[in-house]
Chain A
Amino acid sequence: MKKCINEMKLSFSAVSENEAFSRACVSSFVALLDPYISELAELKTAVSEAVTNCIVHAYRGQPGGVVWIHMRLYSDRRVYIKIRDKGCGIADIDRAMQPLFTTAPEEERAGLGFAVMESFTDQLRVRSSRQRGTTVVMEKTLSEKEKDGYSDLQDTAAGGRKLRAGTSLC
């Protein structure tokens, strides 16, 4: 088992202003592992989906809701992110996770949040109980650092080059 080298916990009001705030927090914490820009963008997007779901669905705009984020960084470059609410819960998780399924089409929700979380992380687990809340756990292992940093061509996001995300990009 690889060692946990860093950990953080965060809780904040379930208001939409905090969507950007939570992404900024997560990206500056992950920046400690010096991720590639594309990996950081994927993590930020996945976190934004989970946090937005808490704000939009779990508490349905009711005041007083809280969102919790718990993150761990491991020595093998694995990032663990748990996002939790104490909202209404999900009645049928399998159905909720199907692409394009949404309970809020009139609010222009696309029903793609879980699909995005799934494709931008290595592992996604969802637990939920009605009236008690929902917990989403995502894990992603960041690619190894290279000595020159420019040899891998897999990252088209950076024009065929992998670019390290400097802290300034958070």
Chain B
Amino acid sequence: MSVELKLDGDKLTAYLTGDIDHHTAAGMRAEIDRALRQNSIKILTLDFSGVTFMDSSGIGLVMGRQKLACELGGRCRVADPPAYISKVMKISGIGRLCEIVDTRAPVRTGSHRAGGEEQ
């Protein structure tokens, strides 16, 4: 499957890999939504570092997950999109709806501090 899920308390990270288009987005959506509904999630992170291609179907995927995460009392963020995907995100203005973070930034102190991942 093109999405791998990692649950850490109330944080859920979805590692997306491969191409995101209309054909593949449906399966990714179903997997993420199942995990979102089964757990009480405060922060859903969509990790884009392994994504090789994305068109506007990926924007729909982010918008939809942001909406659902919000409805369930959490929020959604996007992590580490490659440059060619950042361009599509920029055009869409998705950054106004949902935080885009770079977890590969040089400053990273100890991992897994309770609730301390945000800057």
Which A residues contact B (CB, under 8 angstroms)? 16-17, 19-20, 23, 37-38, 41-42, 44-45, 48-49, 52, 55-56, 107-110, 112-113, 115-116, 119-120, 156-159
Contacts and interface: CB of A to CB of B under 8 A. Distances in A.
Interface string B49-78: 000011111011101100000000000000
B64 A115 contact: no
A23 B53 contact: yes
A19 B91 contact: no
Give the 6 A-B residue pairs with the shortest CB-CB distance, closest first: A16-B23, A108-B60, A157-B83, A41-B84, A112-B56, A48-B55
A48 B54 CA distance: 9
Given A20-B21, A52-B21, A157-B83, A112 B64 contact: no
B19 interface: yes
15 contacts: A17-B23, A19-B21, A19-B23, A23-B53, A37-B84, A45-B53, A49-B55, A52-B22, A52-B57, A108-B57, A110-B63, A115-B91, A119-B91, A120-B87, A157-B83
A20 B23 contact: yes
A13 to B, nearest CB: 13
Nearest to A37: B84
B88 interface: yes
B88 A48 contact: no
Nearest to B84: A41
Contacts of B83: 38, 156-159
Nearest to B22: A52
- Chain B binding surface SS class: helix
Contacts of A19: 21-23
A48 B21 contact: yes
B84 A116 contact: no
B92 interface: yes
Contacts of A45: 53-55, 84, 88
Contacts of A107: 60
Interface string B12-46: 00000001011101000100000000000000000
Contacts of A113: 55-56
Contacts of A109: 56, 60
Nearest to B24: A20
Nearest to B86: A157
A161 B25 CA distance: 31
A20 B19 contact: yes
Contacts of B87: 42, 120, 157
A1 B79 CA distance: 46
Given A48-B55, A49-B56, A52-B55, A112 B22 contact: no
Contacts of A17: 23
A110 B92 contact: yes
